[in-house]
Chains A and B, each alone.
Chain A
Amino acid sequence: MKKIRLLMAAVALVLSVGIASAQNVQVRGTVTDASTGEPVPFASIQVKGTMQGTASDALGSYVVSAPGNGVLVFSSIGYTTQEVAVNNRGTVNVSLVPETEFLDDVIVVGYGTVKREAKTGSIATLDAENLAEAPVASVDKMLAGKMAGVMVTAQTGQPGANSNIRIRGISSVNAGNEPLWVIDGIPVMSGDQGYFTNTSNAMTVVNPNDIESITVLKDAAAASIYGSRAANGVILVTTKSGSQGKAKFQVRAKYGINQFANDNNYRVMTGSELLATRRQAAINAGINPDDPTGAGYFPYSLLTREQTNWLKAFTKIGNMQEYEINASAGNDRGKLYTSLSYQNTDGITYASQFSKIVGRVNTDYKLTNNLTLGSRVNLAYTYNRDTEMQALYYANPFFGGLSIYPWTPFYDENGEYNTRISENNNTNPLYNMLRDGEVQWEKQFRTQASMYLEWQPLAGLVFKTNNMLETTNGEGRRYWGPDPGDSEGTLQTSVTQYVRLTTSNTATYNTIFGDAHSFRAMLGQEAMKELFHYYYAYSPTVDASIPYATTSIATDDQIGYDYSAETLLSFFGNVDYSYDQRYYLQAAVRADGSSLFGSANQWGLFWSVGGSWNISNEAFMAGLNWLNLLKLRASYGVNGNNNIAAYRAYGVYGAAAYNGASGMLPSSPDNPSLSWEKNYTWNVGLDFAMLDSRINGQIDVYTRDTKDMLLDKSVPQTSGFSSNFVNIGSLNNKGIEFQIDGDIIRTRDFSWNVGFNIAFNKSKVLDLGDTNEMSYNNQIKHTVGKQFYTFYLKDYYGVDPTTGAALWRAKDPSDPDNDDAYILTTSYNKARYIYCGSPEPNFTGGFNTSLSWKGFDLSAFFEFKGGNYVMLTEKRYLNSDGGQNMNQAATALNYWKQPGDTGVYPKPLLNNGTNSAAATSTRWLERGDYLRLKDVTLSYNFPTRLIEKVKLSGLKLYVSGLNLYTFHDVEWFDPERGINGMGSGIYPMSKTLVGGVEVSF
């Protein structure tokens, strides 16, 4: 563990965190390699018994202030730690002896750590040092664009919401595509656990600042030790543990504001724009807009009313604040790390808030020389509130803000908020937010508590048992107050509970024999049981003055209950072998039994093999001094996926009440042969480092076949079911990933670092059983030979320049099979369907750069995606060609006005029945490429000599901006619309600006 910490310190320096700063010179020297005489850069030099210390620079030189009678501790990854007394010397040169066991960086992998050099699979790691500065609520938000092949998509911009993570594309239709999260060695629950709100991301349980490192296992070789659940990759999170020495405290505070992000200035019409359009639409439809008894009465007098920008009225500037204290202490027997943090985000509406309190205690204690006991305890309380902010609810302030007529009065005749808003179903989102926003919430209490015992009876042999209890207890409340004049409200309450028990037991043996043979073997067993239940009460008649279930009339109340249980039993093992730091072999096998599958097919066997060749350690490469590392890796393996709902293997009748009597209805067909979905992955990779390791990077090429896919196959409803869950079909993802980092300037006072990563992935459906296509929804299909998600839409042509009518391409009756031949039609029903792009990006990635000078640090991080299409089905309402009685997008002003007009929207018609704005149309498909300036941070570390005087060991100030600007061409606030590109009516992104201070003592 300590080695990992040191690695992090070293990486942090590479990334110019700027720990070191100018200070009084007392001791200088050079750190060299005892075997080669080469300088050792980035070695840690610490004054024993204090917090003071520094690191050697690229040439191995260092300067540190230390007492004359003090002792300096020199350490570096791969070298034996050395202690040297200062003895009042001004120069101390040290030669560090290479450590055979740790010749390179170590990284956390499944059930252990490995030397970075020894890895055979595709692994990405993330230094967590800087993550604490980002104004986010959960760790998943910090991964976006940071690692090649790890795509993080925000489903919504609402604070506390879950994100969708796809590692190397999409592998599964139904068995889930989210990676497995493993925290401190135990697979944990993830995803959204809320009942009413969708802002109960399980990952908020972890305070980002408690994280020491994040490792993402991308290919089969790396992940298959997690067998059954590794198909979508594994994210390993390791939290901090204490360190030896004097107790260290850190206090952090940050405060910031957030604001609606609308970099393209998307807007709806003003009153006068809209009125002109509505009047024209009425006239086009043969309706007199000045006839008060007609169906299209839009007189000019509407403009004499006060006009309202509803979106502006419904949104505000939000704010976020976060406070934290953490402490770390230890001696040669025990280590302690503990932290407590509070975060609160008030969103950009009047009823979106997310707050959390997280506490952690990590302990490690050596009971005897060969027995270690430790625990990881994390407790969290989250509170979030909202009104209906997803989808096209009338109460959704973002859609209501677009759709309400500008001339609709803001206040009613009594001076109250107007709720007679017919174009929004008499719903005023602002009124709802203010009325219900305070009383509609989800509270969650989360526990992750684990204890481990490690026994090392012999050198190299370690037995470890690690046992975790994980719980989420949630309580939800949704309340609709009475409308004006009524006295009864509607109350819904929920109680949810998730419990997961895991025991993980391993035996590991490490040995080195002969000259250069290194061998590691591990055997393990794991068992997991997860229980879930909820109670739900619906009380439609509560007294508004006491809005709790007690005042409800019992006969109107309804109770819901659900329960599910799931178990998993696993046995696994792996073997690593390396020879002479040149050849590495790795094999892993895991057997998993899952209660989710039919009795005949519960067990799945997963395995992988991998090898790597460190070419740069070959004798024939010895002359190439500029090349520090060149390693070729290859692996193949099979992983499983069982991420499906419980009981899908059982054919059941479910309760179906009718007429006050209980009845039973078929709810799923029998499925005894249901079994694992499997992923077969090839990966070939190359790691390199050159020019004094100033430039390092990796390239990976992979192909992944998903077979025996768990498909919820659409079946004819004449069977009594809409779908049947079966193992059929296969899917392929292939791609290339490239990541490079470079230290362009690396001097003591000034450094400049840039990094870039990009990943290309393309999916292809290979087989869907006895059919060639499956509908995902009305706009997307899965079709053999095409990308997994492929839009399948009516082929919109444009506007007939002579009449202004919408035109579609239809199959040419004389040549119906030729896609290039078509005829034009004004009938939507006759239009042909075409495949037209995918919401899956062709490439994703990011680049970052950081500059540091003395104590200043400036870093910027960009994220990008490209080649994907998004579908804006909201436009069927907001660009409705006169069909909808609501405000319209400003872009709808560009409609057909006279013969000859081309490139315009169709002629608007009041109550348009032509389907010109139908949702399933290429008309609403847009390119989704974007480049987002995700994060800019400027920080300053005060020089030690200044803060020493006030007994501090560190003082840092910073400002940071999130989502500062997004370059895109989508006709909407933001280009991100979820994995399927369709997220309609979602809470938009916000941009956040925070400032913070961090004090260490």
Chain B
Amino acid sequence: MKKYIVILVLAVASLTFTGCKDFLVEAPILSQTTSLTLGDYNGLDKAVTGAYSPLADGSWYGAMYVLDAEMRSGNAMRPINNDFTSGRMTVPYTMSYNESSTSGLWGYAYYVISAANNVINAIDEKGDELLTGGVTQQDVDNLKAEALALRAFAHFDCLRLYARTDGSNDALGIPIITTPQSPDEMPARNTVTETFNQIVSDLTTAESLMSPSYARSGGVSSKCYFNLNVIRALLARVYLYKKDWSNAAAYATKVIESGDYQLWTAAEYPTVWNKDAADKGGEVILEVYGAASNDYDEYWEGPSHMTNPIGYADCAASFDLMGIFEEGDVRGSTGIRGKDDGKVMFCTDKDEKSLGQMWTMKYQGKGKGDGTSTPDFSNVIVIRLSEMYLIRAEACVNGAGGTALSDLNAIRSNRGASLLSAAGAAAVANERRLELNFEGHYWFDLARTTATLNYDDGVVTRNLDKSSNYWALPIPKRETDVNENLVQNPGF
């Protein structure tokens, strides 16, 4: 018996004392340390791919940034027939925003900004160290340009949501973040002008760094990444918001004249929305990819479901919007869901129980689900060629030189709409609404042009002028709670 005891004691002792040190090391095997990720070109390349992924979050292009804006602007409404409502989108519909119920874009925008800053910072710090294994300076520059453009893009979307872009340039903008932050830092808000300047600076630097032939490899659709055209198209849009008319026109022209994009014809127009960008042909400059495999995927809450009468359906087209299209304009064509898919731009439900309510077909889905037991997915277009024509037209009427009429008619002639004979600011604004409705522009157009919004559908009434506080939505309360330097927008 004693023999066994000795063996046992030895066994226990050896278990106990061998490898005490290693015994307490358990490193994560399913993730990668920050220093390793940011240590070489391949790691940085993946860090840039990853930095795109929050764009598909629900608070951004996945797609409440777009649909909430449509709801606020009066392009969209909650369906009259309650059989088609789920209670979602109540806040933008009834305009009951408060600091606890507001867009969550803030966190995702700064998440992308910090992911981009990590890459930019690592590239600047590592310098030539990255040039190993056939990696060239141009490869590194392309990465840096992408990261700079992502940073600018996130700042821009954040700025126009939480700050006034109506030209009151000393107004509160958003904090500009261009370096990796420690969690202790409490940045204050920069002015709108400062924010715009940083965005322009990042985009022009990106433009100078990026190779004209660069396109990110990997992924289903190359249109879901930033290339030189995307950077220039963004510059056109940012200059427009900044009211720098000549630069807006110049960059729009660069994109139009790149020859890489063609306007859709009236026949093509209703057929493209259920496809990936590669199959859409002509117009798409940048879109956000929709798929269940995305790390950020809103599943049932995605845009396809929210605008589908057999889905949550809470985001229908308003009667106001349906009234602005002229006969024959394909952009206002209507039909029945399930019967006219791919033929028209607005559909009512297949049983026609919705009292003539229409839903946009711009997010009709790629056919990956049936909308009742599995959700469908849509790519969400961020920038397309028509917008470039419209930017140039608006710049023209504001004195950038040239004429708006040809640009507007270039679009209208491809939409089955009558050609205009004259084009002023109102015509441009109207054309933007006709062309870009349900793509998240109208609300921000109203905001930046100090327009008045009068909306009444019998359920809610909205009369907003320059004095309204809603043009700059409340910053989420969690942010003002933890950052004492952050000033909340007036009225919230």
Contacts and interface: CB of A to CB of B under 8 A. Distances in A.
Interface of A: 285, 287, 293-296, 367-368, 371, 420, 422-423, 425, 453, 455, 463, 465, 480-483, 486, 488-490, 503, 505, 525, 527, 529, 538, 540-541, 556, 558, 561-567, 569, 593-595, 599, 602, 646-647, 650-667, 669-670, 713-722, 724, 770-771, 773, 775, 778, 828-829, 883-886, 910-915, 918-920
B43 A664 contact: yes
A657 B183 contact: no
Interface stretch (B125-133, B164-172, B184-192, B251-259): B184-192
Contacts of B50: 653, 655-656, 658, 663-665
A409 to B, nearest CB: 12
Given A650-B33, A660-B289, A503 B47 contact: no
A285 B87 CA distance: 18
A718 B95 CA distance: 26
Closest 6 CB pairs of A and B: A720-B114, A663-B50, A913-B94, A663-B49, A658-B53, A715-B183
B34 A652 contact: yes
Contacts of B426: none
Given A664-B37, A718-B114, A829-B492, 9 more contacts: A420-B83, A486-B370, A562-B30, A563-B30, A593-B24, A651-B35, A658-B50, A663-B48, A911-B78
Contacts of A914: 96
B15 A770 contact: no
B486 interface: yes
B83 A371 contact: no
Contacts of A296: 459
Interface stretch (B193-201, B205-213, B219-227, B234-242): B219-227
Interface in B340-385: 355, 368-370, 372-374
Interface residues of B, number: 105
In this complex, which of A481, A654, A778, A919 has the most chain B Cβ atoms within 10 angstroms of its Cβ?
A: A654
Contacts of A775: 478, 481-482
Given A660-B291, A664-B37, A778 B100 contact: yes
A937 B315 CA distance: 57
Contacts, number: 291
Interface string B417-433: 00000000000000000
A599 B459 CA distance: 61
A554 to B, nearest CB: 13
25 contacts: A287-B458, A503-B15, A527-B23, A558-B292, A561-B30, A567-B24, A646-B26, A646-B28, A647-B28, A658-B224, A658-B289, A660-B291, A663-B52, A664-B49, A666-B114, A714-B482, A715-B482, A716-B482, A720-B110, A721-B183, A770-B184, A778-B100, A884-B87, A912-B94, A913-B95
Nearest to B474: A829
Contacts of B34: 651-653, 666, 669-670
Interface of B: 1, 5, 8-9, 12, 15-16, 20, 23-35, 37, 43, 46-56, 78, 80, 82-87, 90, 93-96, 98-101, 106-107, 110-111, 113-115, 117-118, 175, 177, 180-187, 218-221, 224-225, 289, 291-296, 312, 355, 368-370, 372-374, 457-460, 474, 477-479, 481-483, 486, 491-492
Contacts of A556: 292, 368, 374
B268 to A, nearest CB: 24
A453 B479 CA distance: 58
A295 B292 contact: no
B29 A563 contact: yes
A651 B33 contact: yes
Contact of B56 (A482, A563, A595, A658): A658
Contacts of A715: 183-184, 482
A595 B221 contact: no
Contacts of A367: 1
B374 A658 contact: no
Contacts of A481: 373
B219 A658 contact: yes
Given A569-B24, A716-B483, A661 B87 contact: no
Nearest to B52: A658
A657 B290 CA distance: 11
A490 B374 contact: yes
Contacts of A666: 34, 111, 114-115, 118
Contacts of A503: 12, 15-16
A653 B460 contact: no
Contacts of A564: 26, 28
A486 B373 CA distance: 8
A659 B374 contact: no
Contacts of A602: 24
Nearest to A294: B458
A663 B219 CA distance: 10
A567 B294 contact: no
B31 A657 contact: no
A294 B459 CA distance: 8
A713 B459 contact: no
A453 B5 CA distance: 10
Contacts of A538: 292
A924 to B, nearest CB: 14
Given A602-B24, A663-B51, A490 B373 contact: yes
